[in-house]
Chains A and B, each alone.
Chain A
């Protein structure tokens, strides 16, 4: 059964492990989520489960939304996300089923997907880590500029520089996945999940938490050892 929940980033703090090491921890309010729709291969072309998070008043929702969540016998939900499941596992997700932080029972590493903080229009030094240009040696008004973006000859025939050249532009406010974060604690009573390290986005931002799909090598070794 894939362990997936929608959550809200509460904030960061630091805790002490049993060995007395001080570690940074992010607190995520994970769930409770409800199954709002089950997608089937016959009807939708693929097997998936849609879950909703945070009940809202019908007054602040829309009629289509009320109807959609009403089919599952639920009040309208603020956030919806879906995840794929295997055809034989669909039975585990009846409409309206409540998923709590208990789904992460026995899960050691999770991926957290969120929307990063928006930084606005940024230059290449902040956005891509370019070094900029000399402070002196005759440099004028170009201290933070990218330098050359190559000639048109590098992409002959188009009359333009190559595609994908890193330039200034909008930074942040895009989907980011923080992979293989260790789960430090679970609090079923308050629906809290504590993970090691930072997760994308600002506090109160909505995140999707899932069991780590592909561990980093060092973490995979850790998981194997235990």
Chain B
């Protein structure tokens, strides 16, 4: 085993397996465990994922939200036990891996366009695509005749 493989194997036991598939531009709800003395409660931080960094157990996401007209960014280590769950609420259409340009945006411009519907399905179900292609081909033939 190479050095990195050993490190990955050690980290693997500590990695969460139930994390949703996150991508940049997603609007997420991060449920954070907060321990106050002996009590434990969960606080939800809702915002847009504007950056992702690190890999393995050191993977972090930066979530930005607007509180009282003031931008607030929090960086969450994804595999920390203090993060109970992460829910993806919406998927935004973005073309960059770091959305730092959102910091300068004010008002409606802050919002991200939704990811185009159906695009993902086309990629995940290639069989269907082939079927439709075939249908188109036959239709084309019919026209020629």
Contacts and interface: CB of A to CB of B under 8 A. Distances in A.
A10 B2 CA distance: 9
B6 A27 contact: yes
B71 interface: no
Contacts of B7: 10-11, 13, 27
Contact of B11 (A15, A20, A203): A15
A13 B3 contact: no
A29 interface: yes
Interface string A13-27: 111100010100001
Contact of B6 (A14, A15, A20, A192): A192
Given A11-B7, A203-B3, A20 B58 contact: no
A203 B7 CA distance: 12
A20 B3 contact: no
B10 A192 contact: yes
Contacts of A150: none
B10 A16 contact: no
A14 B82 contact: no
B112 interface: no
User: What's the dominant secondary structure at chain B's contact region?
Assistant: helix
Nearest to B83: A20
Contact of A204 (B3, B9, B57): B3
Q: Give the secondary structure class of A's interface.
A: strand
Nearest to B6: A10
B14 interface: yes
Contacts of A40: none
Given A14-B58, A203-B3, A27 B81 contact: no
B77 interface: yes
A11 B80 contact: no
Interface in B2-40: 3-4, 6-7, 9-11, 14, 33
Contacts of B80: 16, 20, 22
B15 to A, nearest CB: 10
Contact of A20 (B9, B10, B82): B82
Contacts of B4: 11
B11 A13 contact: yes
A170 B80 CA distance: 42
B81 to A, nearest CB: 4
A194 B1 CA distance: 17
B57 A13 contact: yes
A192 B4 CA distance: 14
A194 B9 CA distance: 13
A190 interface: yes
B3 A190 contact: no
A194 B13 CA distance: 13
B27 to A, nearest CB: 26
Given A13-B7, A16-B80, A194-B10, 4 more contacts: A10-B3, A15-B11, A190-B9, A192-B10
Closest CB pairs A-B (n = 5)? A20-B81, A20-B82, A10-B6, A11-B7, A13-B7
16 contacts: A11-B3, A11-B4, A11-B6, A13-B7, A15-B11, A15-B14, A15-B57, A16-B14, A22-B77, A27-B6, A27-B7, A29-B6, A190-B6, A190-B9, A192-B10, A204-B3
